[in-house]
Amino acid sequence: MNYVIVGNSVAAIGAIRSIRELDQQGNITVISREKHNVYGRPLISYLLGGLINEKRMSYLPDDFYAQQRINLLLDSEVVAVDSKAKMVKLAGGDLIPYDKLLLATGGDPFIPPIEGLADKERVFTFTTWDDAAKLKGLAPDITRAVVIGGGLIGLKAAEGLNLLNKSVTVIELADRVLSSAFDRPAGKIVARKMKANGIDVINEDTVVRIEGEGGEITGVTLKSGDFILCDTVIVAIGVRPAAGFLKGSGVEVNRGIVVDNTMQTSVTNVYAAGDVAEATDFFSGQKNPMPIWPDAYTQGDVAGIAMAGGKKEYEGGLAMNSIEFFNVSTISMGVTNPSNPSEYEIHTYQDIQNYQYRKIVLQNNRLVGAVLVGNVERAGIFSGLIKEKIDMTPFKQNLLLPDFGFINLSKEIRNRLFSPQGKAVDNGKRAERAVGH
């Protein structure tokens, strides 16, 4: 059996591990356009900011590929898939045959057409190790940077540059930063922290022109007419599924690669996982590309099992992010900012001065989302409650407690999670005894 995996990030790793659980003999070829072994992609801002060295970028020990007997083709771009002949074509013209193919190419940064952008040298995106390395290499020459986009990638790039003592301005079209993953108060807290650390955040505006002579940048002009002095521009508006190479392959691509619940595409024996796939959403059951690290792993795992002849279904992806900005912890999960709030029950606690915020979102007495800023201890209990669709009716009043835990839920839930099997006793005697003291 010839397994070919296009892409070499966490979805690929999930797939490799599950294929090898079921099939120790088959050939696995991994093809990546990047030149690195698998690395912690979200760590690129840590690398840029000097918080970690290059060695710590490695997601797995270097001998992982040898141990799993992987034929690893780095620095190789797949330019086409011929699903009839069951071959992928590399940029150099080589053809690689497959029996089972996984497309896990992730996302490409989206660069909008901005006047003056095309001929400028110091316009960067920020999604790969090489992006971070390039910026870091140029850092001595950078004085002022403008980051276009106040999402997770933009803010992490801004933080990294700020840690290198660069003057940074973030320009965000929406009325707040982090508008997709977080709600207004959480965005406000993060923006406040960014500003306290010397990063300028401009909302409801956008760059219309990059100014400068030849390849050099002197600044950017905003829609409002303002001019911001800078020598470097980072474009962090978003990523799009990297599926361009599938033209003519027969593999159906909508907003991402269309997949079923085993992660198989519209073409038999071709699978997709990770940011490039349009996988099922946990709540709606609708298909959406969801660029979430743990879901990419799980999708890769599900695809790998199917490719190796096993059976497992993807249960739907739950959006979740845990990101720190200048040591303020933020976690968001599920529905955080519903567009039709009247259908939801929302509880909040906030102490903006101290960078503390907690928001709980319920629908039909089920927990469907949470935002935690500052105190994020044991946040995963909420993700578990969301996934298990537990009826929260008796526990609602406890959800905002700063030390919320299993003790605020029912004994039945605690027993199910922690008691030894067959030892789950519930006679209530102990409580009576204690009350009698």
Partner 1 sequence: MKRIYSIEDACIGCHLCEVACITEHSLSKDPIKAFLHEPERPIPRCTVEELNGGVVSLSTTCRHCDEPDCLRACISGAIQKNAEGIVHIDREQCVGCWSCVMACPYGAIQRNLERKKANKCDLCPDRQSPACVDACPNRSLVYREGSQK
376 lies in the site for partner 1, by CB under 8 A: yes
Instruction: For residue 222, give the DSSP letter.
Output: E
Using an 8 Å Cβ cutoff, are 65 and 124 in contact? Answer: no
Among 167, 329, 363, 410, binds partner 1 (CB under 8 A): 329
Among 5, 323, 328, 367, binds partner 1 (CB under 8 A): 323
60 lies in the site for partner 1, by CB under 8 A: yes
Using an 8 Å Cβ cutoff, are 219 and 211 in contact? Answer: yes
- C-beta of 38 vs 123, nearer to partner 1: 38
- C-beta of 115 vs 412, nearer to partner 1: 412
Which segment (141-149, 212-220, 240-248, 418-426) binds partner 1 by CB under 8 A?
A: 418-426
- Residue 146 structure tokens: 């403008």
Q: Cβ of residue 401: shortest distance to partner 1, in angstroms?
A: 11
- Residue 65 CB partners (closer than 8 Å, separation 6+): 30, 37, 72
Query: How does strand 144-148 pair with strand 167-172?
Result: parallel
Q: Cβ of residue 301: shortest distance to partner 1, in angstroms?
A: 8
Which segment (54-62, 122-130, 162-170, 227-235) binds partner 1 by CB under 8 A?
A: 54-62
CA distance 326 to 320: 20
**How many residues lie near partner 1 (CB under 8 A)?**
59
- Per-residue x/- marks for partner 1, 382-411, CB under 8 A? -xxx-xx----------------xxxx--x
Residues in region 12-51 near partner 1 by CB under 8 A: 14, 38, 40-43, 46, 51
286 lies in the site for partner 1, by CB under 8 A: no
Residue type, 323: I
- C-beta of 225 vs 420, nearer to partner 1: 420
Phi-psi region of 248 (alpha: psi -120 to 50; beta: other; left: phi over 0): left
Partners of 6 in beta bridges: 31, 103
Among 137, 286, 339, 430, binds partner 1 (CB under 8 A): 430
Burial of 185 (0-12, 13-18, 19+ CB in 10 A): middle
C-alpha separations of 22 from 16, 18, 68, 262, 405 in Å: 10, 7, 12, 16, 38
CA distance 222 to 171: 9
301 lies in the site for partner 1, by CB under 8 A: yes
350 lies in the site for partner 1, by CB under 8 A: no
Among 1, 52, 79, 174, binds partner 1 (CB under 8 A): 52
Using an 8 Å Cβ cutoff, are 243 and 257 in contact? Answer: yes
CA distance 222 to 303: 45
261 lies in the site for partner 1, by CB under 8 A: no
Among 322, 350, 356, 410, binds partner 1 (CB under 8 A): 322
Binding site for partner 1 (CB under 8 A): 14, 38, 40-43, 46, 51-52, 56, 58-60, 293-294, 297-298, 301, 320-324, 329, 331, 333, 376-381, 383-385, 387-388, 405-408, 411, 414-421, 423, 425-427, 429-431, 434-435
